[in-house]
Amino acid sequence: MKKKLISALLMIAVAVLIVVPSALAGDVANGGKVFSANCASCHAGGKNLVNAKYTLQKADLEKYGMYSIEAITAQVTNGKNAMPAFKGRLKPEQIADVATYVLSQADQGWPK
């Protein structure tokens, strides 16, 4: 019985550790600075000046399967279509910060 309880608690702990870091992946303030310097020319205010269909608004991020730290991190790191890859241009920590910033702003409706 004790082994089953320990196993169950261990599984819960692992599940929490897997879920929680993605919500706290980066620094929002630093992400805002990185975004302003590298992303705002195409994505100011959560828009997309290259392809208006793919904005950074929450509804569009959800619609296109991009509403997660992991998805945004992959997009910023590897690029896709007209979006350039930032791997090598930005440090992994900066990419995590900008992904956190994008989700934060999407949740707030991209306030001015």
39 annotated binding-site participant: yes
66 annotated binding-site participant: no
Model confidence pTM above 0.85: no
Whether the Cβ atoms of residue 56 and residue 102 lie closer than 8 Å to each other: yes
The owner of tokens 């702990």 is 13
Higher pLDDT, 15 or 90: 90
Q: Give the model confidence (pLDDT) of 90-110 as tens digits.
A: 999 999 999 999 999 999 999
**CATH no., domain 26-107:** 1.10.760.10
Q: Give the model confidence (pLDDT) of 1-12 as tens digits.
A: 777 666 655 566
11 annotated binding-site participant: no
83 annotated binding-site participant: yes
CA distance 102 to 110: 9
